[in-house]
Amino acid sequence: MPLRLVCFVLLAAIAPTQASTVLVLGDSLSAGYGLKEGESWVRLIAGRLETHQPPGRLVNASISGDTTAHGLTRIDQALASHRPDVVIIELGGNDGLQGKPLGAIEKNLSALVQRSQKAGAKVLLTGIRIPPNYGPRYTEGFHGLYAKLAQRYQAANVPFLLDGVGGKPELMQADGIHPNEKAQERIAENVWPHLEPLLGGH
């Protein structure tokens, strides 16, 4: 075998796997509402990415108050700017709290997933639950959207972002909607097992 070819094969064998860029497109639950810098679950995930092999980086494009419609107005620019390998879509909670039609929420989430996948990114949808203000039919229908869309588009899915947190006053801020700093590690634990398999090196 020619020496040059041998060198090429060896270099290919030891070349590091490309690191992953993770984009979080979310609302206040990801933007760190009511928390100090560095306390949010997103920042905790970023810390895990930094020590992952190969190391990854996280871009947090979350804005408090955002709905799925808001996400659609800015996802294309975020995808073009950061070229993520993975997109975590944490949107829909504000739509549900406002009682927006389930069909509209599904349409918007579908578009967010499709645009992310078209850009070459893997998608992780984070399911959320809302208070039963609009009745069980709406509440369960809303929560079921995430698993349904994950299956439709072969995307990863966190069944319930606030599992082990929601409904526990000691883990919530005074408004009863936003998790406090004590809850953030649990939320990160809910996300990481679904995110890690999507990263480079796996």
Q: Which residues are known catalytic residues?
A: 28, 175, 178
Backbone CA torsion sign across 66, 97, 91, 108: negative
58 phi and psi, to 5 degrees?
Answer: -120, 135
The Cα 78–Cα 24 span in angstroms is: 10
Q: Cα-atom radius of gyration of the chain, to the nearest Å? A: 19
The tokens describing 27, both together, are 């609302």
| Cβ-contact 67, 100 below 8 angstroms | yes
DSSP string, 82-102: H--SEEEEE--HHHHHTT--H
The Cα 32–Cα 184 span in angstroms is: 9
What is the 3 state secondary structure string of 126-171? ECCCCCHHHCHHHHHHHHHHHHHHHHHCCCEEECCCCCCCCCCHHH
